[in-house]
């Protein structure tokens, strides 16, 4: 698989197996960022209702916050912008 539109001065095709983790994440962000931006601008966006924290849990709230950040990242990696933004808003 080749990925086009690399950040930098050249715009050559690079096999995905040769991409560094940073380049891979930048490419992923390029793919999902426009959807995140449109959701942020749309106050009427129909986002799912998610609960990032469990008050009854024995896990400390700080650990739950770290878990929420991890879940947001995973949603973005799967290109699930709606779920990532809903979790971010609920965790504020």
Token pair belonging to 52: 């990032």
Q: Does 13 map to a domain?
A: no
pLDDT at site 15: 55
| Backbone angles phi and psi of 14, in degrees to 5 | -125, 130
Q: Is the dihedral of CA 31, 36, 37, 39 positive or negative?
A: positive
Token pair belonging to 80: 């699930």
Please return the burial class of 85, using the count of CB atoms within 10 Å of its CB with bins 0-12, 13-18 and 19+.
buried
Please state the domain count of the chain.
Answer: 1
Q: Does 52 map to a domain?
A: yes
pLDDT at site 2: 35
Q: Tell me: the pLDDT tens digits for 10-38?
A: 444 555 567 788 888 888 888 899 999 99
Q: Tell me: the pLDDT tens digits for 38-85?
A: 998 987 778 888 888 888 889 998 999 999 999 999 999 999 999 999
Domain that holds residue 56: 20-91
Q: Does 11 map to a domain?
A: no
């Amino acid at each position: 698989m080749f990925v086009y539109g690399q950040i930098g001065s050249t715009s050559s095709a690079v096999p995905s197996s040769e991409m560094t983790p940073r380049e891979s994440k930048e490419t992923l962000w390029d793919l999902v960022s426009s959807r995140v931006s449109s959701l942020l601008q749309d106050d009427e966006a129909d986002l799912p209702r998610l609960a990032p924290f469990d008050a009854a849990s024995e896990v400390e709230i700080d650990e739950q916050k770290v878990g929420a950040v991890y879940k947001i990242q995973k949603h973005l990696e799967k290109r699930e912008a709606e779920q990532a933004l809903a979790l971010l808003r609920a965790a504020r």
